[in-house]
Structure 1
């Protein structure tokens, strides 16, 4: 099994479907194209588009590989792309958490502008570990040590991603509870929170499936047939790898965050939970390195003196957005007009801005 192409062997432990990968490549591709179109107006979900490109590529390669099951390069490529896409999809949720906390800064759990940076770096580590493991595992052939080391890397990447998803959920729950304690939560904020709960749940479901699959691999190292239900049946892959990610991406098509949150990070919801103002954005008085090392501002919490500017307590300094409110469902990112026109209002000195 060491050759790149061998017509007498198959790297699959079952007869792979020729039709299903092609069908689902088209289904994933349709969602990806919808995100491309939606982001022309709403943006926010660039990472879903990028993840869709990777996932579509993976299923196209799997379709080609199904006709050449003994081609090692094709088998490795389809494995890597399919493994690679879910962590990229997850980055869209990380970006959404930051946008949500920029919109309602008074309930932010950590620096909104560091959320994406922090989680993307962690996500990059997850991707690197997972891809390395998938490549080693797919290319192992009869080399049991390489097969085992690849499985260990995959398991480590899955555990790390599961931990990250749990952390994201914990941040959103904390934010949601803080907002609820301050009074009724606006509908758009609730929609985004429940979207994040749902998408994270599906990513966790996929992680659990892959973890069980990895455990089965360890139990059947060197096996060539009847290697356990997951390894010996292709439908598990479609049900628990493809299925959750399809729901993830179409969920964001149907309930696109751009319908519920403003494109501009500086636009925030006032304390009355209806008026929206154009503020200065999140201002952290610490150095950039300090915000990365301590995104939760644990030092400020310990001293009882948060390091960020509480600009939302000075609403008279910032102009009211005149194009409606996302909280009331009267604003849209599709509306035209310059920023100066959108945010025209009166500041604390009575001057028009």
Structure 2
């Protein structure tokens, strides 16, 4: 990847105040999630804590990059930290849906059963993480245009794949909720302490925010290093840092401890709904 004026890896002088605010915000959210994690032992939320740490490292590196804009290692660390954090958030989002489904006692209504849901989506998430990490590393360490193009293409593949996986995930969630609502209209009842409907809508909100951020990243990398999105610093804070802070804020309420699975409902009506 070519350097900019003065040997800087940035097309601008990284904003010190913006980086400081980002580090403070994500440090506070990291502290909140860490406290909630250990106080409730909700271990499926570990990726939220790790992702928040990635954000801190990423924006702390941007802060340091203000003073050493020609330091390649610092630039690589900030790129990877900010780019990869949302993939970790997505892992917990996928696992949360499985817990919601099991808590209702109507797991058979899901088009993907909870035990497979986590394996499929978290497995896809890990694949996206590896692809994007590989592509971003190749891009920022490239010493020729062909290598830059290859790195860019790999990052785009990872981002587009993540959007596709999230789209299918949202479809799975919507189909389950539609089928469960039909079952409730048939007189079935959900016997669980979890307010499943409210958390489903929160899950949708978080999923949409992460997806919109990923779309921004696709456009950014498609434009390339000379594009508007990559050459204007405000964009990364408004379209990446802010949405991810919102995601961490919303998901801080997901630490519910052990969610006891409800006894699975069995009936002819449910058999019909599950095959619809």
* TM-score for the superposition, normalised by structure 1: 0.68
Q: Secondary structure at the match of 1:156?
A: helix
2:120 maps to 1:121:
no
Q: How does 1:245-284 map to 2 (within 5 A)?
A: 245-253=244-252, 256-259=253-256, 263-264=258-259, 266-268=260-262, 279=263
2:220 maps to 1:213:
yes
How far 1:244 sits from its partner (Å)? 1.4
How far 1:258 sits from its partner (Å)? 3.5
2:102 maps to 1:95:
no
Corresponding position of 1:335: none
Deviates more, 1:59-68 or 1:6-15: 6-15
Structure 1 segments of 4 or more deviating over 4 A? 184-187
Checking the alignment, whether the CA contact within 8 Å between 1:7 and 1:68 is kept in structure 2 is: no
How far 1:42 sits from its partner (Å)? 5.4
Report the RMSD for the aligned CA atoms in angstroms.
Answer: 2.3
Deviates more, 1:63-72 or 1:37-46: 37-46
Checking the alignment, whether the CA contact within 8 Å between 1:21 and 1:60 is kept in structure 2 is: yes
What are structure 2's unaligned runs of at least 5 residues?
A: 268-276
How far 1:111 sits from its partner (Å)? 2.2
* TM-score for the superposition, normalised by structure 2: 0.86
Corresponding position of 2:271: none
Corresponding position of 1:31: 29
Q: How does 1:78-227 map to 2 (within 5 A)?
A: 78-106=78-106, 107-141=109-143, 143-183=144-184, 188-217=195-224, 227=226
Choose between structure 1 and 2 for higher RCO, CA contacts under 8 A separated by at least 6 residues. 2
* Structure 1 pair 72–177 and aligned structure 2 pair: CA distance change class (3 A): same
Corresponding position of 1:244: 243
Query: How many equivalent residue pairs?
Result: 257
> CA separation in 2, counterparts of 1:95 and 1:66?
38
Checking the alignment, whether the CA contact within 8 Å between 1:91 and 1:120 is kept in structure 2 is: yes
How far 1:228 sits from its partner (Å)? 3.1
